[in-house]
Amino acid sequence: MTLLDRFLKYISVWTTSEEGTGKTPSTDRQLKLAEILEAELREIGVPEVCTETGYVYGHLPASPEFEGKKAVAFISHMDTAPDFSGENVKPQIFENYDGCDVELKGSGEMLTVADFPELKSLKGRTLITTDGTSLLGADDKAGDAEIMTAVSEIISEGTPHGDIYIVFTPDEEIGEGPDHFSFEKCKADYGYTVDGDYEGEVAYENFNAAGARVIFSGKNVHPGEAKDIMKNAASIACEFQSLLPEAETPEHTEKREGFYHLTDMSGNCEKAELGYIIRDHDKDSFESRKSFMASVAGLLNQKYGEGTVKLEITDQYQNMLEIMKDHMDVIDAARAAIKSVGLEPISRPVRGGTDGAQLSFKGLPCPNLGTGGYCFHGPYEHCTLEGMQTEVKIIRYLMTHPLS
């Protein structure tokens, strides 16, 4: 099976994860892809394969010449983001892409060079897009296909390799990918998530992250008799949002700038609720953001009465730089792999997170490699076959050049 065949097969499976289900995987539909991946690992000759709690594990013991070297893991996730539909994906494939705007024929929307300038650099490649009615699923089925292809190639060619663990995880997109990760099934010394975007990336710095729910309790009386009695929960929710820094939102920030992001809202006069994510690369700034949000809640409780505003903040993941700074040999190995395919390694602060962030804090140093995809989580998601092929070569290098 070719890399493209694998990718198209994987994206055809609906695997969107879902918050709040209270189970792992969060959606049973992810198990269909898990079954496919487990069967394929067995088919290509990986000797130790199993699925546990929706996680697919494979182990390829080292060739004799690499025994005693460190074991490496390659990790990617099976779910797609709940931000946009991941069902009934209808990819559009453009061989020898001309570098111009692309019509997404299912929705009539346009993937334009003006909005996505990197399209110019993809001229001449095989471009794969959505039809505009779903996301593509390159995040992270490109990673799934690349890992599987790299393993398949070294086995079929008889290429000497290190001690390799393969893990396909559920629920990364809702921050629960590492929750049931088995270090008994994956005994690697270090690893790489294959879950980034552009080829040639090795990322080892990400956001510190928290989620927040703000619940507003009001007092509802007839508006004709409301003076000095009514307490409008919806209005107070609006006031809460207005007190947060207007410029510190995703649409106004970049690079290492943190933000508050209002993700959802609901309510009426009696009860209202706001949902946020809080992000910052700097740990002290991150803590300050949480404290500021608490101070805004306190201010409104003073104004409208104790208990009017209830704030719940839940930490989600931390910046892996805190761990990776002591494991730069893992980064250097990735840089060598990237240079081996003629690219200059690029590392930039990730404005998001990966399974590798949490896994690094659990004892598995785990930076993130690119997949060759762009504009994830929405209808403009796209990738190229050549970008994915490059990532296969990078993964193969790392499989055949283990650390001592």
Q: Which of 38, 79, 171, 197 is catalytic?
A: 79
What are the phi and psi torsion angles at 165 (to 5°)?
-115, 140
Residues 204, 328: Cα–Cα separation, whole Å: 10
* Biggest CA pair distance of the chain: 85
Residues 120, 233: Cα–Cα separation, whole Å: 49
Closest C-alpha to 311, from 285, 333, 290 = 290
User: Taking phi first (over 0 means left), then psi (-120 to 50 degrees means alpha), and beta for anything else, what does residue 138 get?
Assistant: alpha
Residue 28 designated active-site: no
Token pair belonging to 233 = 């929960």
Residues 74, 65: Cα–Cα separation, whole Å: 21
The answer to whether the CB of 209 falls within 8 A of the CB of 278 is: yes
- Residue that has been written with the tokens 């779910």 in this structure: 79
Residue 280 designated active-site: no
Q: Which of 131, 146, 171, 172 is catalytic?
A: 172
- Residues with catalytic annotation? 79, 172
